[in-house]
Chain A
Amino acid sequence: MKKTLSLFTGLLLAGSSLLNAKDIELLNVSYDPTRELYVEYNRAFAKHWKEKTGDDVKVKQSHGGSGKQARSVIDGLQADVVTLALANDVSALHNKAKLIPEDWQKRLPQNSAPYTSTIVFLVRGGNPKNIKDWDDLVRPGVSVITPNPKTSGGAQWNYLAAWEFARQKYGSDAKAKEFVAKLYKNVPVLDSGARGSTTTFVQRGVGDVFISWENEAFLAQREFGKGKFEIVIPSISILAEPTVSVVDKVVDKKGTREVATAYLEYLYSDEGQDIAGKIFYRPTNPKFVKKYETQFPKLNLFTIDEKFGGWTKAAKDHFADGGTFDQIYVK
């Protein structure tokens, strides 16, 4: 009997080591305009991982307004990684559900922001409303498209960029609040995410100007041709730093920590940075910053940390319940 059992155990062990190649599935919960980026990146990473380990990895994508996506993960969506529009949405995973450690942003280079972007204006061909800067967005009769900052990370960048412009030009937070209130009076449709706003402006033909992620504006222009839409660079804008993190509680439960971490680290590789540049995100690796420097306009950019004391404070002051957005936006 002992012989029989040891024969079986031996066969089992030999068999299982031979048959060890795995099929892995990851879920990347991201924000709205990263669809094209991660379609291409996932393909590249799967090839890289197969070559490195022999394992097949399939990455499922989920997209929506960044804040909404963070809430879904907090509510139980089994995301292995999050790649959200702003650090505050990722921090919510720690603050509200302890899904990641507090110092999550220190785990990857550049504060876990492998690529950056900014906010520009997309206007209709010929710029019929003569939009040149933030001031033009509060003129009567100018219809502005931007998503809801309560649900969209991109919209929060838009909001803060407009705020900072007005604060610098008119000298106070009170004036900035007044300015932003006027701007939102010109917003006829409030989509929940940036991709929805793109649909509103580009496909449904609503509005004169779309406050857009830079990559989203370039993609719209590439898809529909330069004659149909024009990009207007405002005098001041914000350096948007979308951030990424492994969701520790999920990867430890699913046993996918190694591959999920590698997935995010590969965003900093030459291939990951090149793909980001091709899809109109600004790479952070100097080699690819140089490669794509002519693609992106030069802008006067500020950061959240410099002007708003970091995301935690900015979110509390402006987007939390009772914050400035709730005060100025009356439906």
Chain B
Amino acid sequence: MKSFSQKTKLTLLLASAAALSPLAAAEENTAELREQIQQLDQKLRILERNLELKEEAAQKASAESSKKLPNFSIGSKGISLASPDKAYSAKIGALVQADGRFYLDDGADNRNTFILRRVRTPFSGTVAKIFNFNITPEFAQADATSTNNNTQLVDAWIDGRFSKAFGLKVGKFASPVALETPNNRHFIEATYTNQLAPNRDIGVEAFGSVADNLLAYRLGVFNGAPNNTWSGTRNGTDGDFTVGGRLTLNPFEKNDNALAGLSLSVGGSYGNEAGATSAIRSPGQQNIVGSLTADGHHLRVAPALEWYTGPFSLVAELAYDQQEIAGGNTVGNLGWRVSGGWVLTGENSSKGGVSPAKPFSWENGTWGAFELVARVSGLDIDNDAFTTHGGSLNPATNADGAFSYGAGLNWYLNDNLQVRFDVEKTNFSGGSGSQLLAENELYAFTRVQLKF
């Protein structure tokens, strides 16, 4: 192997060093660049983070200031104003029912009419989070047959909801005895079961629910309004109070099956009453049983079943009304009904009604929801109510029973506007001396309702 001289080695070393020095410099430059990039990256991250913090602070400040402003809203649930913490709120709503009533039988003349059935502007709200109130005036006729246009008070109550299990309500409000108020779910007008229970009463009521709403209760003391009326401004002529209430069992509410919407309930009341009882009306709102004179114990019992599943609904209710009357007789009348609905457009049915999936829009060609409804109902008047058995009713001019059956179509244009159409036939028994009762009853009712 050839050996190199010292000089040659030195020359080679110098040549190599000369060749490598640019490489070393380049590496140094790369490290410097890397360092600079890292520094720039940090600066960028710092700038980004500081910007992010500024934006967060601005958003928080904006959210804080909006929290201090009251919330105003107007929509399908009315016009409302609420404090930022929602502890205080007030809402104005509206209910207008414009009915057309047409009788297709040959009974009494001049019964066809247009009426404003209900015109109400409920004013409701919350005070200090747990107290609620409702003041609802009625601007329409006092009832379906009245020509009185005086403004009346339908609801005026205050409640305190202290826990889910316990609340207290005072004032004038819907009686717990009947399942539903006349503003009922399936048909335009309620039927016999509501004729045997008070509509509104004045008093004090405890309410609540336990075991995750398995059992709900209402229990109160009331002035004791006569059947199918609103309690007046003070207690009646008897001076006695009536205890009333309702227990509702929702056994399957937490289940995710067809039975989830099933509830069973029983309402009732007990007290003393004196004075004139209310006349009883047919589903077509005609007086078919006259007034008696109450004088003594008054007992009402009203069990019911409600079932809402998918587009279907079913309500069955019984009402028994027992009243001691002047002369010593005790009259026990019975009313019942079964009604059902099928939402043809498939939306879910509920106690509150139907919310259309595609609200009516001429522009979009959507029509809202349609529901087909049907009802059968009956009334049996105790013989002891009639003069033939010691009572005061004339059997020639008062019905001793009735059976009604009918069907209807409800059109829900949107959450606020409905159009309803019902046809119902009633066969009366007894009262053959009355033209109305002799001819039975066949009506076609329509209603346009705005509610928010």
Residues of A within 8 A of B (CB): 1, 4-5, 7-8, 11-12, 15-16, 18-23, 143, 188-189, 191-192, 196, 200, 204-207
State the Cβ distance, A88 to closest chain B Cβ, in Å: 24
Contact string against A for B residues 196-209, beta-carbon threshold 8 Å, 1 for contact and 0 otherwise: 00000000001010
Asked whether, in the complex, the Cβ of A8 is within 8 Å of the Cβ of B163, the reply is: no
Closest residue of A by beta carbon distance from B220: A8
Asked whether, in the complex, the Cβ of B163 is within 8 Å of the Cβ of A23, the reply is: yes
A5 and B210 CA atoms in complex are apart in Å by 24
Asked whether, in the complex, the Cβ of A4 is within 8 Å of the Cβ of B48, the reply is: no
A110 and B221 CA atoms in complex are apart in Å by 55
Contact A5:B221 (CB < 8 A) given known A189-B50, A204-B48 = yes
Among all A-B residue pairs, the 10 with the closest Cβ atoms? A19-B165, A188-B46, A206-B45, A8-B221, A204-B49, A4-B241, A189-B49, A206-B49, A200-B49, A19-B210
Asked whether, in the complex, the Cβ of A4 is within 8 Å of the Cβ of B221, the reply is: yes
State the Cβ distance, B263 to closest chain A Cβ, in Å: 19
Asked whether, in the complex, the Cβ of A1 is within 8 Å of the Cβ of B241, the reply is: yes
Contact A191:B53 (CB < 8 A) given known A12-B219, A15-B206 = yes
10 more A-B residue pairs beyond the given contacts A7-B243, A192-B57, with a C-beta to C-beta distance below 8 A? A1-B239, A1-B241, A4-B271, A8-B219, A11-B219, A15-B219, A19-B166, A189-B49, A189-B50, A206-B46
Asked whether, in the complex, the Cβ of B164 is within 8 Å of the Cβ of A4, the reply is: no
A16 and B168 CA atoms in complex are apart in Å by 11
Report chain B residues within 8 Å CB of A18: 210
Report chain B residues within 8 Å CB of A189: 46, 49-50, 53
Q: Determine if B28 is an interface residue (Cβ-Cβ < 8 Å).
A: no
Q: Determine if B106 is an interface residue (Cβ-Cβ < 8 Å).
A: no
Interface centre among A12, A19, A22, A188 (most CB of B within 10 A): A19
Closest residue of B by beta carbon distance from A196: B53
Q: Which of B209-258 contact A (CB under 8 A)?
A: 210, 217, 219-221, 239-243
Closest residue of A by beta carbon distance from B35: A141
Report chain A residues within 8 Å CB of B52: 204
State the Cβ distance, B160 to closest chain A Cβ, in Å: 13
Contact A12:B163 (CB < 8 A) given known A4-B271, A188-B46 = no
Q: Determine if B42 is an interface residue (Cβ-Cβ < 8 Å).
A: yes
25 sample A-B contacts, Cβ–Cβ < 8 Å, listed by A number: A1-B239, A1-B241, A4-B221, A4-B243, A5-B241, A8-B221, A15-B166, A15-B217, A16-B206, A19-B165, A21-B165, A23-B163, A143-B46, A189-B46, A189-B53, A192-B57, A196-B53, A200-B49, A204-B48, A204-B52, A205-B45, A206-B42, A206-B45, A206-B46, A206-B49
A192 and B49 CA atoms in complex are apart in Å by 13
A204 and B46 CA atoms in complex are apart in Å by 9
Asked whether, in the complex, the Cβ of A22 is within 8 Å of the Cβ of B45, the reply is: no
Contact string against A for B residues 26-50, beta-carbon threshold 8 Å, 1 for contact and 0 otherwise: 0000000000000000100110111
A189 and B52 CA atoms in complex are apart in Å by 11
Report chain A residues within 8 Å CB of B163: 19, 22-23
Report chain B residues within 8 Å CB of A191: 53
State the Cβ distance, B20 to closest chain A Cβ, in Å: 29
Asked whether, in the complex, the Cβ of A8 is within 8 Å of the Cβ of B243, the reply is: yes
Report chain A residues within 8 Å CB of B239: 1
Report chain B residues within 8 Å CB of A188: 42, 46, 50
Report chain A residues within 8 Å CB of B240: 1, 4
A205 and B206 CA atoms in complex are apart in Å by 60
Report chain B residues within 8 Å CB of A204: 45, 48-49, 52
A204 and B49 CA atoms in complex are apart in Å by 7
Asked whether, in the complex, the Cβ of B166 is within 8 Å of the Cβ of A16, the reply is: yes
State the Cβ distance, B379 to closest chain A Cβ, in Å: 29
A206 and B243 CA atoms in complex are apart in Å by 72
Closest residue of B by beta carbon distance from A7: B243
A15 and B208 CA atoms in complex are apart in Å by 10
State the Cβ distance, A57 to closest chain B Cβ, in Å: 13
A266 and B291 CA atoms in complex are apart in Å by 68
State the Cβ distance, A274 to closest chain B Cβ, in Å: 31
A203 and B221 CA atoms in complex are apart in Å by 64
A188 and B45 CA atoms in complex are apart in Å by 10
A23 and B46 CA atoms in complex are apart in Å by 46
A97 and B50 CA atoms in complex are apart in Å by 33
Report chain B residues within 8 Å CB of A23: 163-164
Closest residue of B by beta carbon distance from A21: B165
Asked whether, in the complex, the Cβ of A19 is within 8 Å of the Cβ of B46, the reply is: no
Interface centre among B50, B208, B220, B242 (most CB of A within 10 A): B50
